[in-house]
């Protein structure tokens, strides 16, 4: 079941020809999109107050440069976005309206431009410099700015000051020289180009896996603070709330904030921009507010407009929202430009600078040639050869973890959580950047010796249990908000839900998002079709069972994450009747982020 069969062959061959011609498979700046792209369906609806929204970029500033759909839909890079914003600012000025740019956090962890830094540097330090060249009005912090104190300190010391009080961390602190201070600013008040007063906050969900020396206050405690009460004493034309938490459902605390605002400002417009769960979503908590979440990995650029009236009016405000595919065709359509007239000097300089960093980080260094696409959920595990989960669990993990390992000759059974895999692998050179986009997490592996082979296999069945079903419980959703890879569970469940609830498949369209949300009208800017089918691998997957009898002692190997270790030990105790807690030992020095690179070098050597 090779996925290439889903796509049009001619455009892919055209892409490969152009990529070979420019000598750079992944990061060359192309004069034209690599494959024909579908333009937007209709112009944007402008209001008096308009906002362009980004969130969860995770270092994907070079865009998506692969030929298999839906990747070409998201092929714009940060330089293209910068050019788009410059043109849109001019349009706003001609219309006599406001246009703001906001971001909801998670600039780090996910792609080579942020994560591929040399030893001694800090994650995202270089890539953040390019984001600072865009005219952001408000930005806020995400949980991926808090996993490592050095990253948080870099944001405090080098990033926040460049935003001149507009990097908002309303409930996030850092300890510096023995003092606890806000990473950025608690809140801000400013005037727009059209002289409207805005009060803005930047909030993080109740995150609990932050590094030592960083602090996250709960939203319920935050709204009791004196500074929050001071912010609400202001009488702005608009409250603009940007935060790294979903706009509705599990993990969202926006309603608590909105209710506090409404106590003293019952009719003032409230615009909310969320993030973290990597989905396209919109909800209206009342008739004079709108909440928007705008995807992930620079696949989506959000748009919101509001036709403002007197802030004392009780009538519903006319809002619109749109989810824009991040590509040049989208941008040229909405700015009435052409390939020749679209690029601005700033946009071109950003693109040139990013490629210079990519070259310095060796992001295009290839360790092998992937024979075809390997997909997480378009190929069934474990049967399909193009299943990414099968590749990792059955091939790559057993090879890499036993490489140069003194226990390699001892039969083993390896268990890993499938959500570690963050993105697909595509046919062609498998580079340093691909290693970071597919699996960026640095997790160790442990083992328990002398486990009966039959019992080891029963552990997998036990810990999967009800997790093999289609949905996630409320507890699992809450857990997923905090753990590495957990957000992928939420995003993938959302994609499945969209297939159930979205539009019928239209074969003349390309693969891409088909979004159903809670706001009026159609949110997707460009129409796409959904996959024929989405396959859901088990939460936990394994290597092939060893060819020994059920009583034979083997090594039970697993990724050593606290939750997973706990579940495995509990399952073993139930199955065998023995506590193995003291028997857990380190299995190898190889960490999860190295596995695919080692395997590619072994199995996918260039011809």
Both 314 and 375 in one domain: the answer is: no
Both 430 and 351 in one domain: the answer is: no
Per the domain annotation, does 523 fall within a domain? no
pLDDT digits (tens, 9 = 90+) for 493-542: 888 888 865 556 667 899 999 999 999 999 999 999 988 888 989 999 99
Closest among 490, 491, 489, 517 to 503, alpha carbons compared: 517
List the structure tokens of 204.
């993080």
Both 346 and 376 in one domain: the answer is: no
Confidence category of residue 76, pLDDT binned at 50, 70, 90: very high
Per the domain annotation, does 508 fall within a domain? no
Per the domain annotation, does 31 fall within a domain? no
Query: Final residue of a domain: which of 360, 382, 413?
Result: 360
Phi, psi of 476 (to 5 degrees): -65, -35
Query: Final residue of a domain: which of 304, 337, 360?
Result: 360
Both 370 and 316 in one domain: the answer is: no
Instruction: Classify 371 in phi/psi space as left (phi over 0), alpha (psi -120 to 50) or beta.
Output: alpha
Beta sheet of 172-176, edge-to-edge order:
179-182, 172-176, 214-216
pTM as predicted? 0.92
Q: Please give the average per-residue pLDDT across 53-57, as a whole number.
A: 98
Q: CATH number of the domain at 225, please.
A: 3.60.21.10
Both 180 and 260 in one domain: the answer is: yes
Both 458 and 328 in one domain: the answer is: no
Per the domain annotation, does 569 fall within a domain? yes
Both 127 and 93 in one domain: the answer is: yes
Both 295 and 384 in one domain: the answer is: no
Q: CATH number of the domain at 555, please.
A: 3.90.780.10
Average pLDDT of the chain is 91
Both 297 and 406 in one domain: the answer is: no
pLDDT of residue 34: 63
Q: How far is CA 355 from CA 126, 361, 551, in A?
A: 12, 10, 56
Distance (Å, whole) CA 118 – CA 144? 19
Both 355 and 244 in one domain: the answer is: yes
Both 387 and 345 in one domain: the answer is: no
Query: Is the CB of residue 61 less than 8 Å from the CB of residue 103?
Result: no
pLDDT digits (tens, 9 = 90+) for 309-341: 998 999 999 999 999 999 999 999 999 999 999
Confidence category of residue 548, pLDDT binned at 50, 70, 90: very high
Q: Into how many domains does the chain fold?
A: 2
Confidence category of residue 420, pLDDT binned at 50, 70, 90: very high
Per the domain annotation, does 595 fall within a domain? yes
For residue 342, the enclosing domain spans: 45-360
* Cα dihedral across residues 548, 549, 554, 557: positive or negative: positive
Query: Is the CB of residue 488 less than 8 Å from the CB of residue 419?
Result: yes
Query: Final residue of a domain: which of 360, 390, 413?
Result: 360
Both 333 and 422 in one domain: the answer is: no
Q: What is residue 291's three-state secondary structure?
A: strand
Locate the DSSP E strands across 295-444. 300-307, 318-325, 366-370, 412-417, 428-431
Per the domain annotation, does 296 fall within a domain? yes
Distance (Å, whole) CA 68 – CA 115? 24
């Amino acid at each position: 079941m090779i996925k290439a069969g889903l796509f049009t062959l001619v455009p892919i061959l055209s892409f490969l020809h152009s990529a070979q011609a420019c000598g750079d498979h992944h990061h060359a700046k192309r004069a034209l999109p690599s494959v024909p792209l579908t333009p937007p369906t209709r112009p944007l609806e402008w209001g008096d107050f308009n906002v362009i929204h980004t969130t969860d970029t995770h270092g994907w500033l070079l865009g998506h440069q692969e030929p298999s759909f839906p990747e070409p839909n998201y092929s714009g890079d940060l330089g293209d976005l910068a050019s788009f914003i410059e043109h849109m600012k001019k349009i706003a000025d001609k219309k006599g309206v406001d246009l703001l740019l906001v971001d909801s956090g998670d600039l780090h962890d996910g792609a080579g431009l942020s994560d591929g830094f040399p030893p001694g540097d800090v994650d995202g330090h270089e890539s953040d410099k390019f984001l600072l060249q865009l005219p952001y009005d408000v930005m806020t912090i995400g949980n991926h700015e808090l996993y490592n104190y050095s990253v948080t300190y870099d944001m405090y010391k080098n990033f926040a000051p460049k935003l001149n009080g507009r990097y908002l961390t309303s409930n996030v602190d850092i300890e510096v020289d023995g003092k606890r201070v806000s990473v950025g600013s608690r809140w801000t008040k400013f005037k727009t180009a059209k002289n409207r007063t805005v009060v803005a906050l930047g909030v993080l969900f109740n995150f609990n896996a932050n590094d030592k020396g960083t602090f996250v206050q709960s939203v319920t405690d935050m709204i009791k603070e004196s500074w929050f009460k001071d912010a609400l004493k202001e009488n702005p034309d608009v409250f603009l709330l940007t935060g790294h938490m979903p706009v509705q459902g599990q993990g969202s605390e926006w309603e608590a904030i909105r209710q506090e605002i409404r106590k003293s400002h019952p009719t003032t417009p409230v615009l909310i921009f969320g993030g973290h769960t990597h989905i396209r979503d919109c909800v209206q908590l009342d008739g004079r507010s709108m909440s928007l979440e705008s995807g992930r990995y620079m696949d989506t650029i959000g748009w919101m407009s509001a036709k403002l009236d007197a802030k004392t009016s009780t009538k519903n405000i006319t809002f619109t929202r749109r989810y824009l595919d991040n590509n040049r065709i989208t941008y040229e359509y909405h700015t009435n430009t052409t390939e020749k007239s679209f690029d601005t000097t700033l946009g071109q300089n950003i693109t040139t600078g990013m490629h210079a960093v990519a070259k310095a980080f060796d992001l295009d260094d290839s360790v092998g040639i992937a024979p075809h696409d390997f997909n997480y959920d378009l190929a069934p595990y474990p049967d399909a050869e193009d299943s990414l989960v099968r590749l990792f669990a059955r091939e790559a993990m057993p090879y890499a973890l036993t490489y140069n390992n003194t226990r390699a000759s001892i039969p083993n059974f390896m268990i890993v959580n499938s959500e570690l895999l963050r993105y697909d692998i595509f046919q062609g050179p498998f580079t340093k950047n691909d290693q970071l986009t597919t699996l960026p997490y640095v997790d160790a592996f442990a083992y328990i010796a002398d486990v009966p082979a039959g019992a080891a296999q029963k552990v997998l069945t036990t810990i999967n249990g009800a997790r093999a079903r289609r949905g996630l419980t409320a507890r699992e959703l809450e857990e997923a908000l905090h753990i590495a890879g957990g957000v992928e569970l939420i995003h993938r469940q959302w994609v499945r839900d969209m297939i159930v609830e979205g539009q019928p498949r239209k074969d003349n369209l390309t693969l891409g998002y088909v979004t159903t949300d809670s706001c009026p009208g159609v949110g997707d800017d460009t129409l796409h079709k959904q996959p024929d089918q989405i396959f859901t691998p088990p939460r936990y997957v394994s290597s092939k069972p060893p060819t020994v009898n059920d009583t034979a002692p083997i090594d039970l190997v697993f990724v050593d994450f606290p939750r997973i270790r706990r579940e495995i030990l509990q399952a073993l105790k139930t199955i065998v009747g023995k506590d193995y807690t003291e028997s857990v030992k380190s299995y190898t020095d190889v960490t999860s982020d190295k596995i695919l690179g080692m395997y590619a070098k072994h199995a996918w050597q260039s011809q």
